[in-house]
Amino acid sequence: MAISKYLAIDLGAESGRAIVGIFDGQKIKLEEVHRFPNKQVKIFAGSYWNVFSLFEEIKKGLSLAVEKGHGDIESIGIDTWGVDFGLLDKEGKLLEMPHTYRDNRTDGMPEKVYEKISSDEIYGITGIQLMQINSIYQLYSLKLSNEELLNSCDKILFMPDLFNYLLTGEMKSEYTIASTSQMLNPKTRAFDERIFSELGVSINITAPIIEPGTVIGKLLPEIAKETGLNNVDVIAVGCHDTASAVAAVPAEGNDWAYLSSGTWSLIGIETEKPVIDLSLKNNFTNEGGVGGKTRFLHNTMGLWFIQELKKNWNRKEETLTYEEITKLASEAEEFVAVIEPDDKLFLNPKDMVEAIEKYCEKTKQGIPKTKGEFARVVLESLALKYKMILEKIEKAANKKIEKLYIVGGGSQNELLNQLTANATGKKVFAGPVEATALGNIIVQAIAKNRIESLDKAREIVSISFPLKTYMPRKNNVWETRMFETPDKLKNGNRKSK
């Protein structure tokens, strides 16, 4: 088979990458051609994404791919984080910079939405985890605060759909990213009329839904000329980054779960259809997946904690790397405290150190003193959260999970991987690191008929990228350090200082 090449644009909440996938018929090789920061822009009280700067970086990634000998790529795919969106007028122009999901405009908004339609009804329709960052609450906030702007909106496009539009001129809504909005019905695979009606928002602002693997169109002529890429397709991949990451999990059989580890931790299993009736109690989510699958999972805060701690320390002192922070954590005292990662204190604090101290004071625990103790408290708490989630998934899905595959940037944190194995008692496999870009590339290759199926693609991934294995180490402490509620911890083995 001839060599084929694909370009993945993978945008995360902290950075973006342009990665070329080279497939020789047996293995896939990745080559990063561009990496760039993605920072929230603070304007007055709002938090925004600089979509224009990001688009320039995307085009730079296309140009650099050509400069580095990859002018023969067959297609381009874009994936991003979920829930955020841009508003376009009738002329296709952006009405404002897209807000970030950490913007405080959604504070108190779920309660206002539930006055129109109850949380149980919303969950029953969408099967999506109730989180105040979801698109439904962002959109209703706009309805209440700036209805004139909303009335000027002709189309709403989620972040990857927006960039696909800027590349091709075509307005489409890819299914996996649309599913994160909490405005889509997974049974009909369409935006839900009742939800839009109850919010008093026209459903006509939504774009037509397309499935992963759909060719959206060709690069616009002016972009093709600017970048040196001609006659290249733009393909809707698993446009939600977790959908792409899960597509690249090199697993087989039915006894495994995945953990997409990055700013957020998304932990779950693949199912053939939504599991809504059994998941409301535990607030699980049923997001769209590649190949018609459903990603039955729970979103919980992830390495956002470490990112924010790093920013805090680096503002005040010498520059610390993530590797140095992890080393300090590995040398620190165990179980100084346990935090609930999803407590509202941690969503967007001004100072993460102070937020952790405040939580520990509130729950009458020991307060970490050193950088290593702060980092270890976070990592141990994440591992405990994963244990809780996996147990609930096993019960809801009535299946035994034997293996956990950790993919994404967080799979490089060896301490967290080992703590996760210890806490869950599962055999843990870490890698590939660039799972999101790899899944993006896989969908493009399937769309181009270079790979016949998702199962075959996962087999190719397992051959192409060796994994690191972590076996659980027995430690009874993990059985006693568990959460009861976000504000109250069990007394077992708690320390006070």
CA angle 440, 20, 221 (to 5 degrees): 90
Distance CA 287, CA 121 (A): 17
| 86, containing H or E segment | strand 85-88
Instruction: Find the length of the chain.
Output: 497
Nearest-CA neighbor of 213 among 397, 452, 414?
A: 452
Has 241 been annotated as catalytic?
yes
Per the CB < 8 A criterion, the answer to whether 223 and 233 are in contact is: no
Q: DSSP per residue over 143-199, as a string?
A: HHH-HHHHHT-SEEEEHHHHHHHHHHS---EEHHHHGGGS-EETTTTEE-HHHHHHH
Rounded to the nearest 10°, the torsion over CA 441, 164, 17, 31 is 40
Residues in contact with 125: Cβ distance below 8 Å, sequence separation at least 6, in sequence order: 185, 192, 194, 195
Nearest-CA neighbor of 173 among 188, 152, 189, 149?
A: 189
Q: 371-397 and 322-331 are packed helices; what angle lies between their axes, rounded to 10 degrees?
A: 90
Residues in contact with 19: Cβ distance below 8 Å, sequence separation at least 6, in sequence order: 7, 8, 10, 30, 31, 32, 33, 434, 437, 441
In this structure, the strands spanning 85-88 and 75-79 are unpaired
Distance CA 316, CA 357 (A): 18
Any bridge partners for residue 326, and if so which? none
Per the CB < 8 A criterion, the answer to whether 486 and 436 are in contact is: no
Per the CB < 8 A criterion, the answer to whether 226 and 257 are in contact is: no
Q: Which of 10, 233, 241, 343 is catalytic?
A: 241
Structure tokens at 440: 């993006």
SS (H, E, C) 21-60: EEECCCCEEEEEEEEEECCEEEECCEEEECHHHHHHHHHH
Task: State how far the alpha carbon of 233 is from the alpha carbons of 332, 381, 397, in Å.
Answer: 51, 44, 39
Distance CA 292, CA 297 (A): 16
Residues with a catalytic annotation lie at 241
